[in-house]
Amino acid sequence: MDLESFVAGMPKTELHVHLEGTLERDLLMRLAAENGVDVPLPEGGFTDLTSFLAQYYPAMRALVTEDDFFELAWAYLLRAAEQSVVHAELFFDPQAHTGRGVPFPDVIGGYRRAIEKAQRELGVHADLILCFLRDLSAEHAMSTLMEALPYKAWIVGVGLDSDERGNPPAKFAAVFARAREEGFLLTMHCDIDQPGSIEHIRSALLDIAVDRIDHGTNIVEDPALVDLVRERGIGLTCCPISNGFVTDDMKAAEIVQLLRAGVKVTVSSDDPAYFGGYVTENLLALARAGDLSEADLVQLQRNALEVSWLAPFRRDRLL
């Protein structure tokens, strides 16, 4: 069997995809027209995280009604089903919407409706992870957490995304401690080659005690931290195509090094509408750049299921 068919047919788990990053151009243009909002179309040409985020947030203004959030998540879940995704953990950025006056219940209500429909009609299982925007204040994150508490049953964990420069994990220590007390699992972005990446990884692991790290391949700079994540079985959700956009390097060598060292690295798509690849394309890109075997690809997918936040009875059935 050729590599494309093998990867296409593999049952997959996607742990790092931002729902707002799945907003494809056609849907963006249609929703902007229906809502009568003037939205700058993403032009691409990103050279780093900041230049990507500068196009990413304005495009979200196309999303206004509960139905819009439903449509966005439903379009992603249809694509996930086509790509043999059996389980997906979906980041969403409520502050990017509530800050424009969209009510929190409309955001989460639309997303949840799509997830329930996908479970019924597509056999795709999905959960939501609420991400705080790290360039906003810790107080804003805490009030968002409070707003989310009535919807706890729909949210499996919390994360941290957006601009990492000058916004270290410690800024959100109290928010993450409270989220933990409320029963949420914890992850956070430690983006590629950001100023202070390795200190952010260390702090996320030692001070915040995260359950996973998103990206995090700079961990190769500190062998003691590599040992720590291997011993604790902490997953790193890597996104090769996204890495290639924000740093000019897919970081295939680092991902393969971590895989060979027995770290639970996984492959996901991050913001596929912007970076041009869903999970299948990310696995293929890494397989080619890192010269991976079919057994390696299976290991990456086993890792994803093992470090997923599925309830054990569901996870063990899929493993």
Q: Between 106 and 270, name the residue whose CB sits nearer to ligand ADE.
A: 270
Q: Does residue 161 bind ligand ADE (CB under 6 A)?
A: yes
Q: Which residues inside 33-52 make contact with ligand ADE, applying CB under 6 A?
A: 49
Q: Which of 18, 125, 202, 251 binds ligand ADE (CB under 6 A)?
A: 18
Q: Is 196 helix (H, G, I), strand (E, B) or coil?
A: coil
Least distance CB 54 / Zn ion (angstroms): 16
In angstroms, what is the C-alpha Rg of the chain?
Answer: 18
Helix ranges (H only) for the chain are 3-9, 25-35, 49-59, 66-82, 95-98, 104-121, 138-148, 173-181, 197-206, 223-232, 240-247, 252-260, 272-275, 279-290, 294-306, 312-318
Which strands sit side by side in the sheet containing 85-92, from one edge to the other? Answer: 12-18, 85-92, 125-133, 155-161, 185-190, 212-215, 235-238, 264-267
Q: Which of 112, 184, 271, 279 binds ligand ADE (CB under 6 A)?
A: 271
Q: Which residue is nearest to Zn ion (CB)?
A: 270
Q: Say if residue 271 carries a ligand binding annotation.
A: yes
Q: Which of 10, 15, 17, 21 binds ligand ADE (CB under 6 A)?
A: 21
Q: Does residue 270 bind Zn ion (CB under 5 A)?
A: yes
Q: Which residue is nearest to ligand ADE (CB)?
A: 161
Least distance CB 237 / Zn ion (angstroms): 8
Q: Say if residue 161 carries a ligand binding annotation.
A: no
The residue among 225, 222, 237, 233 whose CA lies nearest residue 282 is: 237
Point out which residues bind ligand ADE (CB under 6 A). 18, 21, 49, 161-162, 189, 191, 242, 270-271
